[in-house]
Structure 1
Amino acid sequence: MIGQTSGQSGRRAAFGFIFATALMNAVSFGLIIPVLPNLIKQFTGGDTAQAAEWNVIFAVTWGAMQFVCGPLLGLLSDRVGRRPVLLLSVFGLALDFLIIAVAPNLIWLLVGRVLNGMTAASFSTANAYVADVTPPEGRAKAFGLMGSAFSFGFMVGPAIGGALGDIDLRLPFYVAAGLSLVNGFYGLFVLPESLPPEKRTTRFDLARANPLGSLRLLRSHPDLLGLATIGLLFQLAHTVLPAIFVLYTGYRYGWSPSTMGLTMMATGVAGVVVQMFLVGPVVARIGERGALLLGAAGGAAGFAWYGFAPTGTLYLVGVPIFALVGFLMPGLQGLMTRRVAPHEQGQLQGANQSLQGIASMAGPALFGLTFAWSIRHAASLQAPGLAIYLASALLAAAFVLGSRVARAPVPVQA
């Protein structure tokens, strides 16, 4: 157990375990990205605009489950430890993917997404795990490495999912379920606990476990609410591509699922390079605040380019520009985790998960409906990238806010 491990080697081993868990989880999620909108489109008879609207319903439902369950699982991990919550989430995902794989209609697809949203909060628990085993000065680099795990998963996952989707749209869901089961058994037999009993919260408080109660933590520490707002703007902007990428690139560039998967793979490669190899040196040179601002500026510029690009080739030119957004979350997480005590890390990540749930509800509605409206008025508007321009504006706002609130934190005592 991690509570019985000490020293740098123990921390490295624990981080290695959680990195592998996050990587496997991200791959399983990435597999379904190129195919779920097309499966929805199949059930709507091939109507792209109607599929975009159903995709909004699915995404909002998933976000609502994240909003409700994220704080609950975060606080639960502060009370009973990270390991059991991670295992519950990962085995739950395997069941969710199987339900989606055999769904005979849109209603059963929606049931699968509800369960998926309830159990997908393992990402926030993984972040709390990282904060447990990493000293404050190394957290930005560690969160960058975690980001690279997610980027790598979303790099190879969509490429494989797109290829499998060309064979059968349901095949990627079976593969995702299998990967989740492997991940669950890996955690069951290998993953150590990161939060020893003496550092856990003394009781499970339902008042703090509900979504609104969990957000009170963000008001209890200096600048934490402002930093959380930056995170919300980032998460909201980041929903634009999951919400419309498949339908947008199919409509504007005529891309097939395999081409979409390869493009996501190229985006993932650029993200891995930034998060795995550049975050550490850049944070050491310009600090967590500088990394946050660089990420916000790069993301705003990258989204603006994606919305402008009139051809698929020009769209790819924006990939290295957009990759700079990978600096934002490591800098932000580094600043936020310094402001709370060890027994509050799970609650902090639960509150962040709740904000992500809000973004997951609002973002697809904002971007999906904007995209549907823009293509329905294509003859007069001629702006299919309008939704992506909105995402660019949100990250520009995050840059302005970050320049005001991303100050050096006051150390928090346990």
Structure 2
Amino acid sequence: MRLPTLFILITVTIDAMGIGLILPVMPDLIAEVRGGTLAQAAAWGGVLSFAYAVMQFLCAPALGNLSDRFGRRPILLISMAVLALDYMVMSVAGTIWLLLIGRIIAGIAAGTHATGLAYMADISPPEKRAQNFGLISAGFGMGFILGPLVGGLLGGLDPRAPFIAAACLAAANFAFGYFVLPESLPQDRRRPFQILRANPIGGLIMIGKLPGIVFLLCVMLAYQTANFVYPAIWAYYTQAAFGWSTGMVGFSLAIYGVSIAIVQGGLIRPVLARLGEVRAVYFGLILNTACLVLYGLVGQAWMIWVLIPISACGALVAPAMQGVMSRAAGADQQGELQGVLSSISSLSMILSPVMMTQAFFWFTRDGADPFLPGAPFLVAAILMGLAFAIFATTHRGLAPAKDAA
């Protein structure tokens, strides 16, 4: 593997660790700085995720457009430096408001994922983009492995210790990228920065002019809003339903991350070769819907361990969808497209924590009838079914861009 590609994979892995690190320790960390019950901690966790996602939603299109103008390298390096700063802020947070500031900083710097995807689009022929996007997703899955493991192990010592470790990793990766990462976007494929396009609405309007892509963006929004139920609610759900400890929560998330990495790093290539991108999306959406229903209804912990590797197979939806949409964008729009997709992801992270934590709160609060910790997964199953319905009726309207190669 070439060093620049390795840097991209490490970058998205660290980006994903920022989510995974928080999940096992968030209930205890919020209880330490804020106090209250588990249901109240879940509500505050939704607020922190909301703040992170709002800033990512607002800033991702600007970062994508800046990378189309100035290149991928400076955006990736600056984002990584800011991320290291954010982890240091989180490591000393003693109040809920400082935690909130830390999440805001992270949201601003969260363009690493979108810009990393644009970098891979630059160096990949159209027919191999979905496969290489799978590598990015595998790196994201690896972050889900390492993040919960580090969060669970170090969080047992101190809820802030995982953030110190993550800050050191981000700083080290910045130094690594500074020396090994070349620019992937040549001068003749850059375009002027336009403020009207460097915001969620403007970017969506420009990308939305591509035939059929608006409906596919709606598919991604419904899919990601549903899929974000896992990081939004997992720690609270497993504690309420099965009494799991912080370490067990981290271990279960690590198993989920391993399963996703296997799917997106190994299985996605033969699956795409056999099914193609469109049928792979169909398969993943159906599987995801079924698994979410089962998560919502299971009553014994052993069933969770059976479901984890099965539900991870649904992770092939995102890279397959990105491959479908990337074919419709020109070479000078890949950063803009990934910025819009990042905003869609951020919008799902705005909507999902609020929806899922509120569903959890109402079905686990004192006097809740019925007491149903899995209620958020049933809400997510409805959204996943909606994504399937939209894709089934609209995906045929997409046409490849003439200069997509």
Give the shorter-chain TM-score range. Answer: over 0.9
Letter in 2 for 1:50: Q
SS in 2 for 1:35: helix
In 1: Cα distance, 2:91 partner to 2:234 partner? 22
SS in 1 for 2:193: coil
Deviation, 1:36, is: 2.6
SS in 2 for 1:411: coil
Letter in 2 for 1:138: K
Cα 1:101–1:397 change in 2 (3 A) is: same
Question: Percent of counterpart pairs with the same letter?
Answer: 39
Letter in 1 for 2:225: L
In 1: Cα distance, 2:396 partner to 2:276 partner? 10
Q: Is the 8 A contact 2:13 2:142 kept in 1?
A: yes
Partner of 1:308: 297
Query: Is structure 2 residue 127 aligned with structure 1 residue 143?
Result: no
| Equivalent residue in structure 2 for 1:180, among 170, 173, 182 | 170
In 2: Cα distance, 1:27 partner to 1:65 partner? 18
Query: Is structure 2 residue 321 aligned with structure 1 residue 332?
Result: yes
Matches within 5 A, 1:12-411: 14-201=4-191, 203-376=192-365, 379-407=368-396, 409-411=398-400
SS in 2 for 1:209: coil
Deviation, 1:377, is: 5.8
Letter in 1 for 2:365: R
RMSD: 1.6
In 1: Cα distance, 2:231 partner to 2:377 partner? 11
Q: Is the 8 A contact 2:61 2:203 kept in 1?
A: yes
Cα 1:16–1:95 change in 2 (3 A) is: closer
Deviation, 1:275, is: 0.9
Letter in 1 for 2:86: D
Offset from partner CA, 1:13-36 (integer Å, 9 cap, x none):
643442233234333542332113
Letter in 1 for 2:385: A
User: Could you list the runs of 5+ residues in structure 1 that have no partner in the other structure?
Assistant: 1-8
Q: Is the 8 A contact 2:33 2:94 kept in 1?
A: no
Q: Is the 8 A contact 2:260 2:315 kept in 1?
A: yes
SS in 2 for 1:381: coil
Deviation, 1:92, is: 0.4
Deviation, 1:319, is: 1.0
Q: Is the 8 A contact 1:82 1:125 kept in 2?
A: yes
In 2: Cα distance, 1:301 partner to 1:171 partner? 37
In 2: Cα distance, 1:25 partner to 1:359 partner? 17
User: What is the TM-score of this pair, normalised by structure 1?
Assistant: 0.94
SS in 2 for 1:412: coil
Deviation, 1:362, is: 1.2
Aligned residues: 403
Letter in 2 for 1:91: A
SS in 1 for 2:396: coil
In 1: Cα distance, 2:356 partner to 2:82 partner? 29
Letter in 2 for 1:232: L
Deviation, 1:89, is: 0.8
In 2: Cα distance, 1:51 partner to 1:62 partner? 17
Letter in 1 for 2:20: G
SS in 2 for 1:33: helix
Offset from partner CA, 1:82-120 (integer Å, 9 cap, x none):
110011111101101111110121111111111111101
In 2: Cα distance, 1:382 partner to 1:195 partner? 54
Q: Is the 8 A contact 2:3 2:181 kept in 1?
A: no
Q: Is the 8 A contact 1:70 1:121 kept in 2?
A: yes
In 2: Cα distance, 1:180 partner to 1:277 partner? 26
Offset from partner CA, 1:271-290 (integer Å, 9 cap, x none):
11111111111111111001
In 2: Cα distance, 1:399 partner to 1:237 partner? 12
Letter in 2 for 1:22: V
Letter in 1 for 2:388: F
Q: Is the 8 A contact 2:363 2:369 kept in 1?
A: no
In 2: Cα distance, 1:81 partner to 1:175 partner? 29
Deviation, 1:171, is: 0.3
Comparing 116-125 with 213-222, greater Cα deviation is found at 213-222
Offset from partner CA, 1:126-145 (integer Å, 9 cap, x none):
11111111111011111112
SS in 2 for 1:155: helix
SS in 1 for 2:183: coil
Letter in 2 for 1:266: I
User: What is the TM-score of this pair, normalised by structure 2?
Assistant: 0.96
